[in-house]
Chains A and B, each alone.
Chain A
């Protein structure tokens, strides 16, 4: 771009629907912890005080 070219302002027009979609998203798909993260949790929580039960079984496909 040369200095003589006009500078185009990068303005974004935000609609109510854009705000609505960010304010009110659906619940995201869940991703369950793997065993490595469970181990981190055990260290973080200390002495097995918290949330150390195994993940809820996922529904079987088919």
Chain B
């Protein structure tokens, strides 16, 4: 029987890893991700690459639930950051996802990795110019950047859900989303992201819809006519079997309510 190619196997490993992260988010403990990191990833290219692809979301339970990652989780995460830096000709997705992993380590304050000049924020100015369909596609690929600010996680997400955005300065960094050029671009085009979310739902692009919905959950000024909560429920109903979709939806709910789904 023909073996699946490496990309297919990697996609499967990413799904498995996402499933463990969802489990950790749901249970609120380390059991999910630790169960994975205790196994193959530390010594297996495929597992380590899966950590690199899922990126900062591997440590999402630590970020959203404000608890330090288990040492083994952290070790595997750092190993993936070091093992798979963006190639010189890497896509912006690769550059931004790697940057997000380094930022997560920095914000958690538990990493031995020293930031280098190569860790500078990649360019995102082009996001202002692309059509809204492309914007949504790209933002969905970078949904791991849609997390609360390091000083704004956990209980602070409840403030966001309650509309407590008094400290926001128009045109500057979002008040509750972790700052990045991508987040600022998303905030400038919130209506376009909402439009892209609807398009993704109607195209049955559940992963894109979940990623866009996660951004919308993190942004202010989302049109109420969108019905985001009902839309997220529908995406869960239709596409929640994919653990990557489920992961984004859990993150979105945590961002909107400040509590696990």
* CB pair A46 B230 closer than 8 Å: yes
Chain A, 10-38, contact with B by CB distance < 8 Å: what is the 0/1 string? Answer: 01111110111111110110111100010
* CB pair B234 A41 closer than 8 Å: yes
Known contacts: A41-B234, A49-B227. The answer to whether A32 contacts B202 by CB under 8 A is yes
Contact for B45 among A13, A46, A56, CB less than 8 A: A13
Q: Give Cα A5–Cα B55 distance, bound, in whole angstroms.
A: 38
Chain B min CB distance to A56 (Å)? 7
Main secondary structure of the interface of A (DSSP, over half): loop
* CB pair A15 B234 closer than 8 Å: no
Query: Among residues 229 to 254 in chain B, which have CB atoms less than 8 Å away from a CB atom of chain A?
Result: 230-231, 233-234, 237-238
* CB pair A56 B202 closer than 8 Å: yes
Contact for B53 among A15, A22, A49, A50, CB less than 8 A: A22
Query: Among residues 32 to 57 in chain A, which have CB atoms less than 8 Å away from a CB atom of chain B?
Result: 32-33, 37, 40-41, 44-46, 49-51, 55-56
Contact for B203 among A19, A30, A50, CB less than 8 A: A30
Known contacts: A14-B6, A14-B49, A44-B234. The answer to whether A19 contacts B94 by CB under 8 A is yes
Chain A min CB distance to B130 (Å)? 12
Chain B, 188-203, contact with A by CB distance < 8 Å: what is the 0/1 string? Answer: 0000000000100111
Contact for A11 among B14, B45, B97, B205, CB less than 8 A: B45
Contact for A24 among B91, B198, B226, CB less than 8 A: B91
* CB pair B202 A45 closer than 8 Å: no
Main secondary structure of the interface of B (DSSP, over half): helix
* CB pair A51 B227 closer than 8 Å: yes
Chain A residues lying within 8 Å of B94, measured Cβ to Cβ, are: 19-20, 23-24
Chain A residues lying within 8 Å of B184, measured Cβ to Cβ, are: none
* CB pair B227 A14 closer than 8 Å: no
* CB pair B52 A19 closer than 8 Å: yes
* CB pair A51 B198 closer than 8 Å: yes
Chain A residues lying within 8 Å of B14, measured Cβ to Cβ, are: 22
* CB pair A14 B46 closer than 8 Å: yes
Chain A min CB distance to B26 (Å)? 21
A interface list, Cβ under 8 A from B = 11-16, 18-25, 27-28, 30-33, 37, 40-41, 44-46, 49-51, 55-56
Q: List 15 A-B contacts (CB under 8 A).
A: A12-B10, A14-B10, A14-B48, A18-B10, A19-B53, A22-B10, A22-B53, A23-B97, A27-B137, A27-B208, A31-B204, A32-B203, A40-B237, A46-B230, A49-B230
B interface list, Cβ under 8 A from A = 6-7, 9-11, 14, 44-46, 48-49, 52-53, 84, 87, 90-91, 93-94, 97, 133, 137, 141, 198, 201-205, 208, 226-227, 230-231, 233-234, 237-238
